[in-house]
Structure 1
Amino acid sequence: MNKETIGQEFRALQLFICNELERVDGSGKFSEDAWERTEGGGGKTRTIRKGSVIEKGGVAFSEVYGPVSEEMRTQLKLEGNHFYATGVSIVLHPNNPHVPIIHMNVRYFELDNGIHWFGGGIDLTPHYVIHEQAVSFHRKLRAVCNKYDESFYPKFKEWADDYFYLPHRSETRGVGGIFFDHLNNHFQLNKEQLFRFCVDLGESFPFLYEEQADLGRNKTFTESEKQWMNYRRGRYAEFNLAFDRGTKFGLYSGGRTESILMSMPPVAEWEYNYQPEENSLEEQTLRYLKEKHSYL
């Protein structure tokens, strides 16, 4: 399996996910923006806004290549002289506080020295945590993982717990999911099997989101709940700008800024020393996010 085939299938995955998300949303439609990278490659960014469920969302495909710059070598600790990277990245911000933010990405990277790997993950960021919904999400992720290796889910779940964490807040970004990086010949799986795992995860994405969206899309909400959603969006932005590896790679590799930052929420708020009311749903959510949880 060569890099061109992987790139073609990731592009097909992007289109599949967009078609399914339009069905789930019911009214929103994706528009596509193609872009080119001066040093080599480019991508197609598909965005949706002001839908029935999705206030702002993006499904981005990229395929970039070229020389490893000194900044990439220093900041990303890359060896080799030339690189190739392709992947699909998704973030959906809903218009209802009772529907969670969701993120997914799958990616492939190789260097001209023969080093290559897959990475990716999927995680759920509810504005209000409902434990039973988190359990359902994690069990479905485990089912996808178990088709390839039963050790995937526990390892990748722990990896996600550690990765999607805001150390300056001492809280997780949400209820986690799975995260993996630099996978090549791990777990006795070959390159094609690891790629199929990435595609399978991507094809599962719209159906995982559909379940979560359907549980909250028809719930009414107050202005104070909307404001709470914007506070939680602020936490999301903090993580993406300070810690997210994909954001850093895109910026250091000279990617397209608009596509890299499509993950930012449409509106976010920060209030100095905000303290939720004691025993409120907001306070319960904050307490939940400061603890580790098992979802099986």
Structure 2
Amino acid sequence: MISKEQIAEDYKQIQDEICAALEKLDGVAKFEEEIWEREGGGGGRTRVIQNGKVLEKGGVNFSAVHGHLPDTMKRALQVEQDDFFATGVSIVIHPNHPLVPIIHMNIRYFEMPSTMGDSQKPVRWFGGGIDLTPHYVFEDDARFFHSGLKTVCDKYYEDFYPRFKKWADDYFFIKHRNETRGIGGIFYDRLTANDELSWEDIFEFSKSVGRSFAPLYTELVNRNRDKSFTEDQQLFQYQRRSRYAEFNLVYDAGTKFGLETNGRIESILMSLPPTAKWLYDYHPAGGSEEEKTLSLLKKGINWA
């Protein structure tokens, strides 16, 4: 059985690999690191990159925390015991270029060991995913992104991509706007071993999702970083960022978990963009690229 210590160490290595790839991609900015400890148990490494050539603000965070779950989280997770361990890598990148997309990725592991005499079995699962939020949806880029994720998923189990793609469509949905946050990707939670997949298989899948981030995003950035853009396109970028912020503050489960378990606030809220604008009653011009993008922010599009 793979140990939680090994999972955490491998996740730390993935954090290192992604930070190196993003510094190379940007060419100017470097990550700043903060080592932090959580009151109650554990800690992490927060790494933030800012004011780069193309990466305006981004975070690549690792954490491994343990302790006791508050009652609110026990009810949310539908568990009775309160001792827990959680580790993962979480990434959000906000580019300064409106034609380069926002990207988010998370891989995580959670367990609650049974205590002596406890009749309940240990609780353990993997979760995660990767999704893209373009300010402007380019269909070729969307197909490239989803095809890459499908290739990762198909290596492990044939129904992973369609199942996790639908899960992402449903999860990354801004209900009060009736639109998806972006073009989705894959999302999964509480993934456990079964007759066809061992714990080692699921862990390898988790790491493969993590290692898909750098090549996919590098290609998308390089496709668009040298294109010219207008002030109106920058304004639309800030408007799209506001929707991203709304989702993360209202619906995101990771944000809620971090706040409920006394996580580090700066690390939890690093997902928010540096600049966003809420334009009152915004409607795009008919036939514009902005209108086209908004028409593609819906569930069920078959990008792959």
TM over 0.5, shorter chain: yes
For 2:189, the equivalent position in structure 1 comes to 181
Show the counterpart of 2:35: 34
Counterpart of 1:74 in structure 2 is 75
Q: Could you say which residue in structure 1 is the equivalent of 2:218?
A: 210
2:246 counterpart residue number: 238
Alpha-carbon contact 2:133-2:182 (below 8 Å) kept: yes
Spell out the pairing of 1:127-166 with structure 2 (5 A cutoff): 127-166=135-174
Shift of 1:186: 4.4
Gaps of 5+ in 1: none
Distance in 1, matches of 2:251 and 2:222, equals: 30
Aligned alpha-carbon RMSD (Å): 1.1
Which residue is equivalent to 2:60?
59
Unaligned runs of 5+ in 2: 115-121
Match of 1:119, as an amino acid?
G
Separation in 2 of the partners of 1:89 and 1:232? 21
Shift of 1:188: 1.6
1:187 to partner: Cα distance? 6.9
| Aligned position for 2:131 | 123
Residue in structure 2 matched with residue 7 of structure 1 by the alignment: 8
Contact 2:18/2:214 (8 A) holds in 1: yes
Residue 14 of structure 1: SS of its match in structure 2? helix
Task: Using the TM superposition, name which of 184-193 and 256-265 deviates more.
Answer: 184-193
Q: Which amino acid aligns with 2:72?
A: E
Amino acid at match of 2:107: V
TM-score by length of 1: 0.97
Q: Given residue 144 of structure 1, which amino acid in structure 2 is its aligned partner?
A: V
Q: Which residue of 1 aligns with 2:264?
A: 256
TM-score (norm 2): 0.95
Residue 260 to residue 146, structure 1, CA distance change in 2 (3 Å): same
Q: Alpha carbons of 1:251 and 1:88: their partners in 2 closer, same or farther (altered >3 Å)? A: same
| Number of residue-to-residue matches in the alignment | 296
Native 8 Å contact 2:74 2:82 kept in 1: no
Give distance in 2, aligned partners of 1:265 and 1:81.
34
More displaced 10-residue stretch of structure 1: 215-224 or 95-104 = 215-224
TM-superposed CA distance for 1:222, in Å, is 1.0
Residue 261 of structure 1 deviates from its aligned partner by 0.4
Query: How far apart, in 1, do the equivalents of 2:30 and 2:299 lie?
Result: 38
CA contact (8 A) 1:81 1:112 kept: no
Deviation of the 1:291 alpha carbon? 5.4
Q: Are 1:149 and 1:187, in contact at CA under 8 Å, matched by a contact in 2?
A: no
Q: Deviations over 1:171-228 (max 9, x none)?
A: 1111110000000114721111111111111111111001110111001111111110
Hey, what does 2:290 align to over in structure 1? 282
SS at match of 1:103: strand
- SS of the residue 2:296 aligns to: helix
Aligned twin of 1:192: 200
Q: Give 1:53 shift.
A: 1.4
Supply the distance in 2 between the matched residues of 1:135 and 1:87 (Cα, whole angstroms). Answer: 27
Q: Structure 2 counterpart of 1:124, which letter? A: L
Question: In structure 1, which of residues 267, 274, 293 is the aligned counterpart of residue 275 of structure 2?
Answer: 267
